[in-house]
Amino acid sequence: MQKTINSTATLNNGVEIPYLGLGTWQARGKNCEHAVAFALSHGYSLIDTAQAYGNERQVGKGWKASGLSRDDIFITTKIRNSNQGYESSKRTFQKSLDALQTDYIDLLLIHWPDTRHFDQTVETWQALVELQEEGLCRSIGVSNFTIPLIKKLLGEINVVPAVNQVELHTFLFQRDLLAYCRDQNMQIEAYSPLARARYLDNDTLQRIAKKVDKTTAQVMLAWCINHDLVVIPKSTNEDRIKENADIFF
Ligand code: A2P
């Protein structure tokens, strides 16, 4: 069935996640605030931020400026590496809640595996599991995890992440990871789905874009949607935020 901007994927705990979200990596200050408010007023409901982006406060302000109620939006944030560990994850999660002006997060992720101190990552996962049990986040997951690292985590704590957020796009089709995550019932969320705008002049993309009367960016995003991936293109530009939402074809 053709998806629409309101379509959602169902996570392994029943939570519905919108297929389209706004990425905010490198979005700063008023630009970030405005982009979030603009996106939420133009059909987006998922906003993706992270402790490491340093913009949770601006995301919170942008949401408030949009006038949407908390139930109408889906907020993702991530525990940064320097905050990994049981106590530190829980403490800084509270700071994220304050910055975002909310009392719960829809999706909380471990931003990166700490491959040198994996015990810290395991502790962080334990903290996330408890935060979810306490009702402070609706779903929990990981980011930038490879297959061996997911297996390693599950060997320590057998709670399957609802999401693995990784870089995935037409020029980086991580088929094995996608197949593994599907098998485990983990939703892949594609960050940098536009490959940071590096290949938008690619010949093949241009040919397809012409055929379907869309831009090459829209073709890249539609490719993700049509592979059942959640996509979070980043933009702080009004026209491009709108363009990136017209991808359900
Ligand atoms: P800007 O914020 O000025 O729009 P990705 O999501 O793959 O990381 O890509 C983000 C980059 O792509 C940003 O530099 C963003 O710049 C740019 N970008 C976002 N949407 C589009 C678009 N529709 N066309 C061209 N560039 C875009």
End-to-end CA distance of the chain: 11
Give start and end residues of each alpha helix (H) in the chain: 29-40, 56-66, 86-100, 118-133, 147-156, 175-183, 203-212, 216-226, 238-243
Q: Where does the pLDDT of residue 152 fall: very low under 50, low under 70, confident under 90, or very high at 90 and above?
A: very high
CA distance 222 to 231: 9
- Residue whose CA is at the smallest distance from ligand 1 atom 1: 235
Residue-wise pLDDT for 50-77, tens only, equals 999 999 999 999 999 999 999 999 999 9
Q: What angle do CA 27, 64, 54 make, to 5 degrees?
A: 30
- 97 to 49, 77, 137, 173: CA distances (angstroms): 12, 9, 10, 34
Q: For residue 23, how far is its CA from the centre of ligand 1 (angstroms)?
A: 10
51 DSSP assignment:
G
Q: How far is the CA of 135 from the centre of ligand 1 (A)?
A: 34
Residues paired with 191 in a beta bridge: 167
The residue length of the chain stands at: 249
User: pLDDT, tens digit, for every residue of 80-93?
Assistant: 999 999 999 999 99
For the question of residue 53 being annotated catalytic, the response is yes
pLDDT category of residue 236 using cuts at 50, 70 and 90: very high
Q: What is the pLDDT of residues 161-193, one digit of tens each?
A: 999 999 999 999 999 999 999 999 999 999 999
Distance CA(174)–CA(194), nearest Å, equals 15
Q: Is 71 helix (H, G, I), strand (E, B) or coil?
A: helix
Residues in the ligand 1 pocket, defined by CB under 6 Å: 23, 192-197, 200, 217, 233-237, 240, 243-244
Task: Please name the residue that has the structure tokens 């999706």.
Answer: 107
pLDDT score of 1:
83
Instruction: Give, in order, the Cα–Cα distances in Å from 181 to each of 10, 15, 218.
Output: 14, 17, 25
User: Could you read off the pLDDT of 5-43 as tens digits, one per residue?
Assistant: 999 999 999 999 999 999 999 999 999 999 999 999 999
Q: Is the pTM of this model over 0.95?
A: yes
**What is the distance between the alpha carbons of residues 113 and 152, in angstroms, rounded to a whole number?**
11
Name which residue sits closest to atom 26 of ligand 1, judged by CA: 197
| Cα distance between residue 196 and residue 50, in whole Å | 18
Marked catalytic residue, from 53, 104, 180, 199: 53
What's the whole-number mean pLDDT along residues 96-117? 98
Please give the pLDDT value at position 121.
Answer: 98
Instruction: Give the position, in ligand 1's atom list, of the atom nearest the Cα of 197.
Output: 12
Q: Does 96 score more than 90 pLDDT?
A: yes
Distance CA 124, CA 4 (A): 35
C-alpha 111 – ligand 1 centre gap (Å): 21
Of 57, 42, 43, 35, nearest in space to 5 by CA: 43
CA of 73 to the centre of ligand 1 (A): 22
Beta bridge partners of 74: 46
- Report the distance separating Cα 66 and Cα 60, nearest Å: 10
